Amino acid sequence: MTQEEYKIYIDNVIRRVETARLRVSDYHIVKVVAISKYSTSDEIAKLYNIGQRAFGENKVQDLKLKAEKLEELPLEWHFVGNLQKNKINNLLDINPTLFHALDSIDLAHELQKKLEAKDMILDVLLQINSAKEESKHGFMPEDAAYAYSQIKKECPNINLKGVMSIGAHSDNRDIIKKSFETTYEIYKNLDGATICSMGMSGDFELAIECGSNMVRLGSVMFNK
């Protein structure tokens, strides 16, 4: 695919995002984070040249390597993976724009300790396991609001910006929709929350229609 063909392809993806957001409201803004975990630095640069700025990785080491290799580009890096405690300092050294997957009080307290020691503030999303699936990380829906307020109170160096969830693993659109609606209902009632990150390559239009204002798109952005 030539650069011009790739641009036309990406324009079509963005058009799909636009169509979905306009179904919600003319004023509903949606941010696209390109998930680059299966892509090379060259592929990221190619997408940057078309206009994409925000990229997400799910492994700290991969994020570090790509951020270093592409340091001359003004990229916005997001960490979307589950964070192991022994990798916290490594992540903070990179200082990502946003950490998407805070999935336990225990991790919040450990993150707070490391942030305090480095005199840093980190923007973070609370991960919600909205479909209550054993294969997924995150807070159960009934615990999420309390956990959010607890972290806000006990972890001043964690700047909670909102929530993140992954749509239900199902072929049934109604089940997936219900999982997005569950997350959005929680998000609407959280003090100061501005980001509701839901939707990936296979379900982002539905997620946007359910209220998502940030989508995490991997294969569809890199044409894989």
Which DSSP letter does residue 37 get?
Answer: T
| pLDDT tens digits, one per residue of 60-105 | 999 999 999 999 999 999 999 999 999 999 999 999 999 999 999 9
Which DSSP letter does residue 87 get?
Answer: G
What is the Cα–Cα distance from 138 to 107, expressed in whole angstroms?
Answer: 11
**Residue 94 neighbours by CB under 8 Å, 6+ apart:** 60, 63, 64, 67, 77, 79
User: Which residue, 105, 98, 151, is CA-closest to 123?
Assistant: 98
Range 3-222: architecture per CATH: Alpha-Beta Barrel (3.20)
| pLDDT tens digits, one per residue of 139-192 | 999 999 999 999 999 999 999 999 999 999 999 999 999 999 999 999 999 999
Mean pLDDT of 124-153: 95
